[in-house]
Structure 1
Amino acid sequence: MKNNIHPAYGYVVFRDRSADYQFLTRSTATSDKTVEWEDGNTYPVVDVQISAGSHPFWTGRTRLVDTEGRVEKFRAKYARARASR
């Protein structure tokens, strides 16, 4: 590997606030925010929107998608356009 061209690779905590889930891993991601981990050390923390703690595939909870409402909205929109011809 070439020297001085690679980003720093160190310990980082990834935190999903919506699921109250966090894990410590190594990454090149950085952050100005820090958190004290269970081992007593302080690590940078990166907040994520979705993780294994909140993703429907891993949790088994599915989200309800209102497809019928979307279809009806589409039909109503284009029924008005067709009527005005």
Structure 2
Amino acid sequence: MKQGIHPSNYRLVVFKDMSNGTSFLCKSTANTKETIVWEDGNEYPVIKLEISNTSHPFYTGKNVLVDTAGRIDKFKKRYAKKD
């Protein structure tokens, strides 16, 4: 491997999914000012995520139902040609 091309601030970071509260410990170079105490008692930087593999519909197999029928009906009603 080439020397000097890898980041020097590669460290353990906790990623926390804010939609369901799941957290996991992984290595990252992402910057953050917040910290959290992990299960092992050590304090690590924390990065808050909106969605992760524990809450994404593709990975969980659960699809979120969106009320598209109501939107489509409103659109058709609004832009229907007047007879």
Tell me if TM exceeds 0.5. Answer: yes
RMSD of the TM alignment (CA)? 2.1
Displacement of 1:7: 6.4
Equivalent position of 1:71 in the other structure: 72
Please state how far the C-alpha of 1:10 moved relative to its aligned partner: 1.2
Query: Which position in structure 2 is the counterpart of 1:46?
Result: 47
Q: Quick one: which amino acid aligns to residue 25 of structure 1?
A: C
1:31 aligned counterpart, secondary structure: coil
Q: Which residue of 2 aligns with 1:17?
A: 18
Are 1:36 and 2:27 an aligned pair? no
Is the contact made by 2:7 and 2:29 (CA closer than 8 Å) also made in structure 1?
Answer: no
After TM superposition, give the deviation of residue 77 of structure 1 in Å: 1.5
Q: How many residues align?
A: 81
List 4+ stretches of structure 1 deviating above 6 A. Answer: none
TM-score by length of 1: 0.78
Q: Which runs of 5+ in 2 are unaligned?
A: none
Structure with greater proportional helix content: 1
Tell me the equivalent position of 1:26: 27
Percent identity between matched residues is 47
1:34, distance to aligned residue in structure 2 (A)? 0.3
- Contact 2:35/2:45, CA 8 A, preserved across alignment: yes
